[in-house]
Structure 1
Amino acid sequence: MTTEELRAGQAALAERADDLPSAAARGTVAAYVSTGTEPGTRDLIDRLRESGTRVLLPVLLPDNDLDWAEYGGRADLERTSRGLLEPTGPRLGPLAVTQARTVLLPGLAVDSRGVRLGRGGGSYDRVLARLEAAETRPALVVVLYGHEVVEAVPREPHDHLVDAAMTPDGVRRFLR
């Protein structure tokens, strides 16, 4: 994808902020800062924050688990040795994600059943297991490009179904 296409996709995602499940309730959204050619989330998280939503961003721990910190704006982001942009604010602990009404997830693909194919590091599998153990039920939304919503993705026993896929073209909800 060209730089112009990436920017257009990022702007389109930000326009979809109000289409997120639970968006009307505001509250807390757990999101992430995209990297490389992933669909750009920076404008989206800015839009959510500006609308009064509390945005939590992950901080990658040495064991690939995720801690969380509140997003205070782009000036609060710092590039880490792994090349990720992470918030510099106080760490809230891995359980902070259980406060979210919506959790935005990265992925490589999702199928028509809501089976998400992750990147293989296991960080978000731990997040999803943590949410299940806490018996919280936030809306789970994978952020992708439209062509990454496919007919079928292999499902592993530990996989959790997502509620929706957010693409620059819109939000697609899955029946569950």
Structure 2
Amino acid sequence: MDISDPGGTKRVLRSTLKQARQELDKTTRERQHTALIARCVELIHERSAGTVAAYHPLPDEPGGPGFLPALRAATGAVLLPISEAEGAMLWAPYEGEEAMAKGDLNIPEPVGERRDWRALLDCDIVFLPALGANRRGFRLGKGAGYYDRTLARLAEAEAPQPLLAVVLFDHEVTHDVPVEAHDMPVNVIVTAEALHRV
């Protein structure tokens, strides 16, 4: 790892992790989806979470098609992100796949009432996507910075904070993720194998 160029190291690592994701065989992927959902629900019950924020998994992302229905069944209230211009994110309730539409990034987004980042202050847990994370809880996103900007605002709020949990395939927890000043750590790394407390 070139510590003098964390941005370059991140680009290389993103490419490596994306390729490894695409190469996961169907059986392994589905087994990990099932285990990941169980771990997330376990965390919801542990925290007695009534409202959580999450993400709509793309075909190669952890969680699979059963992720959001399971979270909604376990909590009753799930918020999903909506990508806005200049890296901003809004949040709206997930009301099922029939109440979704493709957003600007071609990712399904909820069509309900939108709120800004302060909606996350009403959440008990925020489940975050990433390509990887290190054992200290610093995640490697896709590089656009949407989540880091949102989490920075959240951290500055003088209010009780939700638990931040990144959801990853087992092999995506790696010591190689470099840390820059704008990176925001999570509290828990969720993998099929375990809930890793940071």
TM-score range normalised by the length of the shorter chain: 0.7 to 0.9
Out of 124, 132, 141, the residue aligned to residue 147 of structure 2 is: 124
Correspondence 1:134-145 to 2 at 5 A: 134-135=157-158, 136-145=160-169
Question: Any residues of structure 2 matched to 1:5-154 within 5 Å, and which?
Answer: 5-20=28-43, 23-135=46-158, 136-154=160-178
Q: 2:33 corresponds to which letter in structure 1?
A: Q
Q: Deviations over 1:130-156 (max 9, x none)?
A: 211213321111111111101242111
Q: Structure 2: which amino acid aligns with 1:121?
A: A
TM-align CA RMSD: 1.9
The answer to whether residue 187 in structure 2 is matched with residue 163 in structure 1 is yes
> Structure 1: which amino acid aligns with 2:172?
E
Between structures 1 and 2, the one with greater strand share = 1
Give aligned pairs, total: 174
Q: Aligned-pair distance for 1:43?
A: 1.7
Query: TM-score, length-normalised on structure 1?
Result: 0.88
SS state at 2:75 partner:
coil
CA change 1:23–1:83 in 2 (3 A) is farther
Identity within the alignment, %: 37
| Aligned residue identity for 1:156 | E
Q: Matched residues in 1 for 2:45 and 2:73: separation?
A: 16
Bigger Cα displacement from structure 2, 59-68 vs 17-26: 17-26
- Deviation for aligned residue 1:14: 1.8
Which amino acid in the other structure matches residue 73 of structure 1? G
Q: TM-score, normalised by structure 2?
A: 0.79
- 1:111–1:81: structure 2 CA closer, same or farther, 3 Å change rule? closer
Cα pair distance change 1:125/1:94, threshold 3 Å: same
Q: 1:36 Cα shift?
A: 3.5
Deviates more, 1:137-146 or 1:34-43: 34-43
- The 3 A distance-change label for structure 1 pair 37 and 13 is same
Structure 2 CA distance for aligned equivalents of residues 115 and 24 of structure 1: 22
Moved over 6 A (4+): none
1:62 deviation in Å? 2.0
Aligned amino acid, residue 161 of structure 1: P
Q: Rg bigger for which structure?
A: 2
Q: Return the offset for 1:76.
A: 1.4
Q: Distance in 2 between matches of 1:41 and 1:28?
A: 20
Contact 2:47 2:124 in 1 (8 A): no
Q: Gaps spanning 5+ residues in structure 1: where?
A: none
CA contact (8 A) 1:165 1:173 kept: yes
